[in-house]
Chains A and B, each alone.
Chain A
Amino acid sequence: MTLSTDTQTSGPVATSESVASSPAGIRVDLEVIADLVEPRSRVLDVGCGDGALLALLEQRGRVDGRGIELSQAGVNECVARGLSVIQGDADRDLVHYPDDAFDYVILSQTIQATRNPKVVLSELLRIGRRAVISFPNFGHWTIRYALGLRGRMPVTANLSHTWYETPNIHFCTIRDFVALAEELGASVETAFAINATGQKMGMKMPWWFWNLFGQQAVFVLKR
């Protein structure tokens, strides 16, 4: 359930197909998230796909990594590569974890595909000391253009599904997400936008700029 679709057969997510790779062959967006995680911490990756992020984290910082993944193919691949991953999904399985079980709970490109994003987000904040959430920004100018001027639901390189087959049922803009975090009483520890090539955008830009030009957003939230 991470960014690219080429590694998974099913699962509710897979939003962006064209994500840049670093020279080491690791997707830039995964590296951006991995940079946020302190070494030796306990991490839960919700929607971990084939385990690329968990493997990267374990290799870099010797974290105690766990994962949840919906697709059988993804889970089997993770377990075969030695990762602690269970088959499940964010809507159903987070409730079984105790409070403060993890230092970080990561939800990468998945929240827009959950049935109840608000409940999922509050669960993330309950079981993790920090929640790292990335999602496609529905306020991006290309989307506004498609809907506002063309009058069609957007189908972009980043959001490639047509409206009738998309697993993404709860889109939000960066501003919408900030409002939800506030409603849940969470504080934003770090936030930045990612452009089309998977690179971080300048930190000093105002929210409106991110909301218009950020293709994806990454938030680190605390209770």
Chain B
Amino acid sequence: MLQKGGAQTVTPSTTAEPTSPTATSAAGNREALEPSSPVAFFGEDEPLHLDAGIDLSPVQIAYNTYGELNADKSNAILICHALTMDHYPASRSPVTGKPGWWSPIVGPGKPIDTDKFFVICSNVIGGCMGSTGPASINPATGEPYGLSLPVITIRDMVRAQRMLVERLGIDRLFAVIGGSMGGMQVLQWTVSYPDKVFAALPIATGARHSAQNIAFHEIGRQAVIADPDWEGGRYFAHDKRPVKGLAVARMTAHVTYLSEMALHRKFGRNLQDRDVLGFGFDADFQIESYLRHQGMTFVDRFDANSYLYLTRAMDYFDIAADFDGSLAKAFRGSETRFCLVSFSSDWLFPTDENRAVVHALNAAAASVSFVEIETDRGHDAFLLDEPEFFAAIDGFVSSAARARGLIA
């Protein structure tokens, strides 16, 4: 859910407050309105049916592809991104200028090998990187949607992805892969379109959002809403951005992506740029400085309303609720091959949440593998360099590709 390698460095900054919107944030807003990636446009004749009961149109979906689609269109892999990621898993983000967030995993010769597979990744509906979201212009008013956009669900995101995949001429995906909120989309794909997914790789995720996770999201949303610059969601009209609120939301969320052990290992109680305590409320500790930096850089690249919508989508996610409370029913008759991966120190989507999905798949007699990777890096581990994790992805994707006849 956060930027790759984000926990690696300690920044020297001791600035107490996020700055006002910068040149980068203007670039972020430009990407929301005029994405530099390819875009699929769906007009009034092809509305997106939302769970909120509204047909949304027009809709645009920003996406990237890597590799070549084969002749019988059987080698397509859809990568679903996490909460604050984008559709640049394997190429440089135009907003941050950083390498793709999954560049160790996706690319030529990598575990998700773009020499063999046609990889698609699209910005989710409700996002702020070019797909229709709260920062997009509502053609009916000429103003950004803001809170007038209906609440988006994970199922809505998947429905939109299905429209894009069909637009690209692909009927059945070879694989759908993603971590965290991306993993939720993977699970939703296998339930919404079971015969359209040959292999599924949900990582560090769950079939529902837990009460604790909803609680942390609510803290984040309230921080945004409490910022006077949020202006009831109409901050663009007032030429403002709720950067303080959004930064606090990010700081809170960021802690949930790490682990106590990793925080202790990286920061401990080390002081920032000083030898003694300052007896004030400046950033005395490295961890404070680090979190402030995370908050500040986040507001430069992410839209506050989008953060509200996407966290809400995760909160609403509960696959079993659509099947009389039985997760096993959701997967009944599934012929998709599953591989779930969890990380031992992830307390946002702990191993037990992942294992609950495994048990439901077992009960549905589905084909499932499950690996727990030993690491102290918390939820973030799915974005970091974890050799055992890479080996699991490689082994699963390769064996599925053999079964599908894509490789010898």
User: Does A75 sit at the interface, judged by CB under 8 A?
Assistant: yes
User: Would you call A82 and B399 a contact (CB within 8 A)?
Assistant: yes
- A64 cross-chain contacts in B, Cβ below 8 A: 367
Docked complex: A68-97 residues within 8 A CB-CB of B: 72, 75-76, 78-88, 93, 96-97
A66 touches B (CB below 8 Å): yes
Given A96-B359, A98-B363, CB of A80 within 8 Å of CB of B392: yes
Assess whether B321 is interfacial by the CB under 8 Å rule. no
Q: Which residue of B lies closest to A81 (CB)?
A: B395
In angstroms, Cα B355 to Cα A27, docked, is 32
Which residues does A use to contact B, with CB under 8 Å? 64, 66, 72, 75-76, 78-88, 93, 96-98, 101
B374, B391, B395, B400, most chain A CB atoms within 10 A: B395
Q: Please name the residue on chain A nearest to B401 by beta carbon.
A: A82
Let me know if B365 and A86 touch, CB within 8 A: no
Are the CB atoms of B362 and A87 closer together than 8 Å?
no
Output the least CB separation between B103 and chain A (Å): 21
Determine which of A76, A79, A81, A96 lies in contact with B362 in the assembled complex, contact meaning CB atoms within 8 Å.
Answer: A96
B372:A82 contact, CB within 8 angstroms: no
Complex contact B371–A66 (CB within 8 A): no
Binding site for A on B (CB under 8 A): 337, 339, 355, 358-360, 362-365, 367-374, 388, 391-392, 394-396, 398-400, 402
The complex places the Cα of A85 from the Cα of B358 at a distance, in Å, of 11
* Docked-complex contact A80 and B394, CB < 8 angstroms: yes
Whole-angstrom distance from the CB of B345 to the nearest CB of chain A? 13
Some 8 contacts from A to B, beta carbons below 8 A apart, are A76-B371, A79-B391, A79-B395, A82-B402, A85-B369, A86-B370, A88-B355, A101-B365
Evaluate whether A72 and B374 lie within 8 angstroms (CB atoms) in the complex, with A79-B339, A79-B396, A81-B395 already known: yes
Residues of A within 8 A of B362 (CB): 86, 93, 96-97
Q: Which residues of B contact A93 (CB under 8 A)?
A: 359, 362
CB distance from B294 to the nearest CB of A (A): 31
Question: Which residues of B have CB within 8 Å of A88?
Answer: 355, 358, 370
Chain A neighbourhood of B399, CB < 8 A: 81-83
- Where chain A touches its partner, the secondary structure class is mixed
In whole Å, how far is A144's beta carbon from the nearest beta carbon of chain B? 40
- Give A76 to B391 CA distance when docked, in angstroms: 8
The CA-CA distance from A98 to B339 in the complex, in Å, is 20
List, in ascending order, chain A residues with CB within 8 A of B363's CB. Answer: 96-98
* Complex Cα gap A84–B367 (Å): 7
Q: In whole angstroms, how far apart are the Cα atoms of A187 and B47 in the complex?
A: 61
Nearest 9 CB-CB pairings of A with B? A82-B399, A80-B395, A86-B370, A96-B359, A96-B362, A80-B391, A101-B365, A79-B392, A79-B369
CB contacts (< 8 Å) of A87 on chain B: these are: 370-372
Q: A72-B372, A76-B391, A79-B396 in contact; A86/B367 too (CB < 8 A)?
A: no
Docked CA distance A97–B364 (Å): 8
| Whole-angstrom CA separation of A168 from B323 in the bound complex | 42
A97 contact set on B, CB distance < 8 A: 362-363, 365
The answer on a CB contact under 8 Å between B368 and A84 is: yes
Kindly list chain A residues whose C-beta atoms are within 8 Å of the C-beta of B358: 86, 88
A76 with B392: CB separation less than 8 A: yes
B291 nearest CB across to chain A (Å)? 32
**With the chains together, A72 CA to B343 CA distance in Å?**
11
Chain B residues whose CB sits within 8 angstroms of the CB of A84 once the complex forms: 337, 367-369
Cβ of B394: which chain A residues have Cβ within 8 Å of it? 80
